[in-house]
């Protein structure tokens, strides 16, 4: 996930937020290999780490949490580091049987800068959150579902239809005020 990609993501989300016809925002990766694998480490090495991660730290996850729109992360494949932090900012996370999750920043001597230190324990509980943050190990989709990181565990071909169905159901209700 390059800084240019993060900028594009911020801009697309801002457009959706500004559109009164949009009630639900779906976030997914392109293809089946990855939802988002985190920050592009080549860019991080060539820039101040704080600046490289700033779009995640102060941007997207917080924006999702504050948004009046419901956000759903549809996760297919790798969801690690900054990518997981983006997903944690969403109101709902659904994932496929081939998805994998991790916060590997500790192995690199980097603090998860996008809010995972707060959001992950709130979502999955302190023990699981701390284990994921401190161990940096990858968990599979079954474990992610068991601990509540994702609310639905789907076959890859069912991910987008389920996202669309959920978005339609949520959008059909009166807006929350």
Annotated catalytic residues are 85, 105
Query: What's the rounded Cα separation, in Å, for the pair 138 and 48?
Result: 27
Unique residue bearing structure tokens 């302190």: 126
DSSP 3-state of 33: coil
Query: Among 106, 14, 25, 38, which Cα is nearest to 70's?
Result: 25
Unique residue bearing structure tokens 């293809």: 31
CA angle in degrees (0–180, nearest 5) for 10-170-1: 25
């Amino acid at each position: 996930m390059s800084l240019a990609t993060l900028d594009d993501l911020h801009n697309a989300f801002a457009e959706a937020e500004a559109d009164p016809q949009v009630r639900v925002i779906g976030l997914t990766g392109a293809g089946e290999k990855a939802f988002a694998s985190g920050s592009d480490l080549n860019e991080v090495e060539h820039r101040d780490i704080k600046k490289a991660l700033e779009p995640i730290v102060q941007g997207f996850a917080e924006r999702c949490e504050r948004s009046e729109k419901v956000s759903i992360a549809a996760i297919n494949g790798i969801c690690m580091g900054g990518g997981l932090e983006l997903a944690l900012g969403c109101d709902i996370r659904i994932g496929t049987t081939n998805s994998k999750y991790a916060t590997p920043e500790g192995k690199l001597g980097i603090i998860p800068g996008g809010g995972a230190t707060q959001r992950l324990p709130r979502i999955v509980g302190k023990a699981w959150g701390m284990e994921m943050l401190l161990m940096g190990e990858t968990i599979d989709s079954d474990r992610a579902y068991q601990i509540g990181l994702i609310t639905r565990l789907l076959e890859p071909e069912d991910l987008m239809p389920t996202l669309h169905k959920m978005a339609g159901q949520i959008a059909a209700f009166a807006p929350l005020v």
